[in-house]
Structure 1
């Protein structure tokens, strides 16, 4: 079963040391106090912040709109100081776009806290946040019997695209505006989970 919380390791970008964090359920209280009320209190200029595709996201509203949907999941990475270092939301009742007729998870949104983005804050506070979140979603898909399949629509950013490609995701659709959809097939998901020591 996919039980929360569970431990993951981040890297403290200042010391290079591993820091034990937890994947937790992202509830409305956390979204309001630790994301909407905290994330964008950084020294980066207003113009720089506005260039971030997720700058306008209101996580409390997003979670509230789906609170009665049993297929909707919201998770976060929380460090021992109780701060939320990243978050993701997803639907567990979707269909694969690569493997016809098979179930999949649809990753609705994923973001690291601005303080963990090296192009906004140098050095960032932690590294590995997005990696842990994405791996958690793939793991949940696998535990649900969906083969680890996860698909998503990516923000139009080459760094983001490269991140997904490096994890074994494949491009499944590109629209006229250059927006890409990605999916990780079962084979790549199993390989990734196996490399991280999860039983396959």
Structure 2
């Protein structure tokens, strides 16, 4: 279950995650979650921040944008855009095998889809992937829409309408 991103989560990122991300040359090692919390989420009403905690420890972080992005799969329709998403270093297979908790990123993406439904966007979610995690988004069933030259050539992924299995 995702909860609102707070100062505690940004502090844990700085004190418990950052050095491991740097040591293992992770692509998100320079992200500044303190800045994201103070100057992105708190000052922009279209941005929302969430965290996953287990046993009072931050396991994952995500920021979404809810008003400005449109679907590439369904032009003219809005979507939830995942601005930033990260799993704790000990939950990443490239750092620790087996990961302490598997499925944190999947849970955050699922929450983004639920938030999209709540906003009336029918489960549409989009994001630009760091190169090292493109396979993860493929495995999540997101559609690879290719490199985006307007976004540092990062690959853009999108979930279309979420159809109920009923």
1:63 to 28, 31, 37: 37
Structure number, greater radius of gyration:
1
Q: 1:175 to 1:38 in 2, by over 3 A?
A: same
1:35-60 alpha-carbon deviations (Å, 9 max, x no partner)? 11111455x883xx2x2101111101
* CA–CA separation in structure 1 for the residues paired with 2:51 and 2:93: 20
The question of 1:37 aligning with 2:12 is answered no
Cα offset, 1:168, TM superposition? 2.3
Could you say what the CA RMSD is over the residues aligned between the two structures, in angstroms?
2.0
- Aligned position for 1:18: none
Structure 1 counterpart of 2:79: 104
Distance 2:51 2:75 in 1: 30
Once the two structures are superposed, residues 2-49 of structure 1 have per-residue CA deviations (whole angstroms, 9 ceiling, x without a partner) of xxxxxxxxxxxxxxxxxxxx31111223212x211111455x883xx2
Whether 2:112 is the aligned partner of 1:137: answer: yes
Q: Judge conservation of contact 1:154–1:181 (CA < 8 Å) in 2.
A: yes
> Quick check: 1:86–1:129 contact (8 Å CA) kept in 2?
yes
Which structure 2 segments of 5+ residues have no match? none
Segments of structure 1 that go 5 or more residues without pairing to the other structure are 1-21, 195-199
Aligned length in residues: 162
Look up the match of 1:117.
Answer: 92
Greater percentage in helix? 2
1 CA distance for matches of 2:113 and 2:72? 15
Are 1:168 and 2:141 an aligned pair? yes
| Paired position in structure 2 for 1:79 | 54
**TM-score in terms of structure 2 length:** 0.88
- Distance in 1 (CA, whole Å) between partners of 2:111 and 2:22 is 32
> Kindly tell me: are residues 175 and 71 of structure 1, through their superposed partners in 2, closer, same or farther at Cα, counting changes over 3 Å?
closer
